[in-house]
Amino acid sequence: MSPNPDEAQRPRRLPRSQFAHFQTIETRWMDNDVYGHVNNVVHYSLFDTAVNRTLIEAGVLDIHGGSVIGLVVHTQCHYFDSIAFPQTVHAGLRVDHLGRSSVRYELGLFADDTPLAAAVGQFTHVYVDRATRRPVPLPPALRTALESLSRKPA
């Protein structure tokens, strides 16, 4: 029997070992929806928080005065398990692709101490000049910080 081509493309839950860096983010009461779990749109906010907090803490992103800013051009998320308030989310982060002016992150959201991600997503930034909004090469310090977050081997 030949392998099912859809199986190779099917998203999979990832373990913590697949991520280079983690940010801890507390869920909030308002994150839960009427079904009693964190609403799907909150996952995207968690991705955004994990990426930007990591870059700010590394000293390579100045959200208020930097001449270069990252604009989100793509996001996606695959959901595997629920997250709910009051849980702590450990957002795993790795750089999946580093281009001239862009970076694609892969993120995993882990509820409390679970070994496998409740959600796995991608988040792509294109870096642009703050004034013109035209793509620019990644500044050297940013590129170095992003390289340190490179994808771990499978």
- pLDDT tens by residue, 55-100: 999 999 999 999 999 999 999 999 999 999 999 999 999 999 999 9
Percent over 70 (pLDDT), the chain: 92
Which of 5 and 16 is assigned the larger pLDDT?
16
Given a cut of 90, is residue 10 above it in pLDDT? Answer: no
105 beta partners: 95, 123
pLDDT score of 124: 97
- pLDDT per residue as tens digits for the range 35-54: 999 999 999 999 999 999 99
- pLDDT higher than threshold 70 for residue 2: no
Tell me how far apart the alpha carbons of residues 68 and 61 are, in angstroms, rounded to a whole number: 8
What pLDDT score does 86 carry? 96
State residue 4's pLDDT score.
59
Return the ∠ at Cα 64 (arms to 45 and 121), rounded to 5°: 25
Work out whether the CA dihedral 136, 58, 62, 96 comes out positive or negative: positive
Res 136: pLDDT: 98
Strand partners, 108: 92, 120
**Mean pLDDT along residues 102-109:** 98
**Predicted local distance difference test score (pLDDT) of residue 9:** 76
CA distance linking residue 14 with residue 154, whole number of Å: 10
Q: Which domains does the chain have, with CATH numbers?
A: 16-147 (3.10.129.10)
